[in-house]
Chains A and B, each alone.
Chain A
Amino acid sequence: DGGITQSPKYLFRKEGQNVTLSCEQNLNHDAMYWYRQDPGQGLRLIYYSQIVNDFQKGDIAEGYSVSREKKESFPLTVTSAQKNPTAFYLCASRTGTGASSNQPQHFGDGTRLSIL
């Protein structure tokens, strides 16, 4: 089945530790996105990428890093610089790269990150 796979489903981070959230898609989508969702709130954009080896900061990129070495993979690293990482993280992808494209984003099932 085609889709977006996020792993792990739950992740715990110790103080001062970097952790990496995985996002893989087999939809052959060009654009990929990472969002953060805090309880009872909407989604905020962390990073996005429209093509391999290119990515852009979203609204809340501080304390996070990404890479896009392969079309199907867009891992997110939550660094120790992110002082409040506890949240629900969602990865999304979309076909097409045009700025005017109105293709919907499709989402993975998310990763819940907590601090130990």
Chain B
Amino acid sequence: AQKITQTQPGMFVQEKEAVTLDCTYDTSDPSYGLFWYKQPSSGEMIFLIYQGSYDQQNATEGRYSLNFQKARKSANLVISASQLGDSAMYFCAMRERSGGYNKLIFGAGTRLAVHP
């Protein structure tokens, strides 16, 4: 069963506008963490923002914020004031505990294109 779902294969946004990238997750573990990564065309994965399951407030990091709706099991990434350099693949990931170990489960990603 898919644990991380990103339903938007591609998104377009005009420069300087805000965009929301969707992510839903599935877990029965009460303690979990959600991460967003950016992957430019060069290939490296860049950590953007993190939200813990027990965090009371939505995470923010500069132009990035996380719309965390725990009851709906969603953790959408909001990018404000989009820039051309934001064009990239974006991946949502969930920290999973397994037999005393810690690993990330990634979604399929959303490709964001920012237009001038």
Contacts and interface: CB of A to CB of B under 8 A. Distances in A.
A50 B101 contact: yes
Interface string B13-38: 00000000000000000010101010
Contacts of A108: 44
A11 B83 CA distance: 34
A105 interface: yes
B97 A41 contact: no
A50 B97 CA distance: 13
Interface size grouping (class) on chain A: 20 to 34
Interface string A78-90: 0000000000101
Q: SS class of chain B's interface: helix, strand, loop or mixed?
A: strand
B47 interface: yes
A94 B46 CA distance: 13
Interface in A10-51: 31, 33, 35, 41-45, 48, 50
Given A102-B52, A105-B47, A106-B47, A45 B103 contact: yes
Contacts of B97: 99-100
Interface in A47-84: 48, 50, 56, 58
A105 B108 CA distance: 18
A55 B87 CA distance: 35
A107 B91 CA distance: 13
Interface residues of B, number: 26
Given A90-B45, A108-B44, A110-B44, A102 B91 contact: no
Contacts of A94: 102
Contacts of B46: 107
Given A42-B108, A100-B31, 8 more contacts: A31-B102, A33-B103, A43-B104, A98-B102, A99-B97, A104-B35, A104-B47, A105-B35
